[in-house]
A and B are shown apart, each in its own frame.
Chain A
Amino acid sequence: MRLSDRARTLPESGIRKFFELAEARDDVISLGVGEPDFSAPWAARTAAIDSLERGKTSYTANRGMAALRERIAAHHERYDQSYEPESEVLVTTGASEAVDLAFRALVDPGDTVAVHEPTYISYGPGIELAGGEQLTVPTRAADDFALTRESLEAAGAADADLLVLCYPNNPTGATMTDEQLAEVAAFCRDNDLRVVADEIYAALTYGTDHASIATQPGMRERTVVVNGFSKAYAMTGLRLGYALGPAEAIDAMNRIHQYTMLSAPTTPQYAAIEALDRCDDEVTEMVEEYNRRRRLVVSRFNEMGLDTFEPGGAFYAFPECGGDDEAFAEELLDAQGVAVVPGSVFGEGGEGHLRVSYATSMRELKEATDRIAAFVESR
């Protein structure tokens, strides 16, 4: 069958290769997993079960259940964000759909979209599918992987149409402070850049509260914020996300959404209402556990001579392995049965690093870091 040029030329994810290598063995400790090792809070799961028992299996409103949108808007007040549930909130099938809708609603063919790297692997292909062209803005370990006015200018982002931000970041675990965001916001205002801010890890920060660029002066009206239930509430498989933004952007995204997904699945929406109403304590417990693991992993990497900056959010450490990160990851898997993801998979600036997920049990983290230390020693 003849395929579209778009489908034919879309590159395969660099993660896929490591997935296949790891799957080929049955003795692997995987630190390559980009999702929580917890299950969704039991209260949220019972709400989903209850909704099914009551036969709540119909479509919901295109934008998502009104009750859920109200709770999402109320929930975001904790980040000093204020959105109108009726017109400025859209519930989507995972945060990934929200990112895709934002690109398709905001990008015209030929538009340039600036993306800081290393970052989540789906933005580039998403931009391409929307007809845009990606402009890479490398971030560096020396700047704690934060975006700066200098790096934006150096990459030529002043001529871009849109900027994608992902903080807290996958794969680096980097966060940005209000002061750092103020600098980026000023750049966006000066150069009339709109922003898609993927804040899916907002609830998973350590020591500092999450800061959103949408709260910077003059940025709310030029920013679409993406978030969801996958990471904070360990609901990855339930596929529920959402977007917050100016009414005209949300309206445009909803018009695409209504012809593609129609509405987000109903059962997870009931689970999400319960999660927002009653599961804050579980989120706090998960964050405390991630924080203990984060400290252990970062300290062990530094001890074994792999320099690792202090990640402020998400559940990834991003140690420097020096040299060829792909070769390091392959040899580590081969020699010690530990799967990590090479940093270069996540784009420029990731080379010479490894993405290490600490969303796995403390027992496995200790065993895996012992094996990595032995591997480093043997090289």
Chain B
Amino acid sequence: MDAEREVLDVLARNAREDIDDIAAQTGLDAAAVADAIDALEADNVVHGYQAVVDWDRVEEGKIRAVVEINVELDRETGYEQVADRIAKFPAVDALHLVSGDYDFAVEVLGETMQDVSEFISEQVAPMPEVTQTVTHYIMETYKDGGIRFEDGDDDDRLSVSP
């Protein structure tokens, strides 16, 4: 495994690890870790660092929805062009081109359900390429970003054992 991959494995688990701790965990020196992070960012492998948030635990937290979008393309317009327009909206948290019954899966964040509805009906649906949208409001999140949303400490092992 090369240095960048090792550093990436650590960052993907905890983006807040400091360079010295990443160095200790990977067996690299601190300068090599810093170089690897610079390279990962420059190559657009790492696009940013975000907290994985359980919004349900935040008072007046966010509303999240998964929106299926179907589009009809013409000679001048491809998926890239449509994706480019949709991705520009700040409410769009994630955007994927998918296989199956619809074309795009879009994750939308809003303050209220009305926010999300208005965004879909007023911004997305009127786009000339869009033929159909189906909105699924997320009722509860159990796992996100590879992290289970649990209360946590359920280690019931003996405190000292052979």
In the complex, which residues of chain A have a beta carbon less than 8 angstroms from the beta carbon of B24?
295-296, 299-300
Q: Are A288 and B161 in contact (CB under 8 A)?
A: no
List chain B residues, Cβ under 8 A from A293. 25
Chain B hits for A292, CB < 8 A: 9-10, 25-26
**Residue B100, interface by CB 8 Å:** no
- For the complex, give the distance between the alpha carbons of A121 and B161 in Å: 11
Q: A15-B160, A121-B162, A292-B26 are in contact. Are A37 and B21 (CB under 8 A)?
A: no
Among the listed stretches B61-69, B83-91, B151-159, which one makes contact with chain A, having 4 or more residues with CB under 8 Å of it? B151-159
A122 touches B162 (CB 8 A): yes
CB distance from B129 to the nearest CB of A (A): 40
Knowing A295-B24, A295-B25 are in contact, say whether A34-B10 is a contact too (CB < 8 A): no
B-chain residues with CB within 8 Å of residue A32 when the two chains form the complex: 159-161
Note all chain B residues with C-beta closer than 8 A to A34. 161-162
In B1-45, the 8 Å CB interface with A consists of 9-10, 13-14, 21, 24-27
In the bound complex, CA of A62 to CA of B160 (Å): 33
Residue of B158, B160, B161 with most partner-chain A CB within 10 A: B160
Q: Closest CB-CB distance, B36 to chain A, in whole Å? A: 15
Whether A339 and B160, one on each chain, are in contact in the complex, defined by CB atoms closer than 8 angstroms, is: yes
Which of A23, A30, A120, A122 has the most CB atoms of chain B within a 10 A radius of its CB?
A: A30
Whether A18 contacts B26 in the complex (CB less than 8 A), given A37-B155, A292-B10, comes out as no
| Given A37-B155, A288-B9, A362-B14: A296 touches B21 (CB 8 Å cut-off) | yes
Residue A275 lies at the interface, judged by CB distance under 8 Å to chain B: no
Nearest CB of B to A301, in Å: 11
Residues in chain A near residue B161, CB distance under 8 A: 15, 19, 32-35
Question: Contact at A13–B21, with CB atoms within 8 Å?
Answer: no
Nearest opposing residue in chain A for B6, CB measure: A292
- Asked if A295 and B27 sit within 8 Å, CB to CB, the answer is yes
A residues whose Cβ falls under 8 Å from a Cβ of B: 13, 15, 18-19, 22-23, 28, 30, 32-35, 37, 120-122, 170, 288, 292-293, 295-296, 299-300, 339, 341, 360, 362, 366
Given contacts A34-B161, A34-B162, A35-B157, 14 further A-B contacts (CB under 8 A): A15-B160, A19-B158, A32-B159, A33-B157, A33-B159, A33-B160, A35-B161, A122-B162, A292-B9, A295-B26, A296-B24, A296-B25, A299-B24, A339-B160
Q: Can you pick out 6 interface pairs between chain A and chain B where the beta carbons lie within 8 Å of each other? A: A30-B157, A30-B160, A35-B157, A288-B9, A292-B26, A296-B25
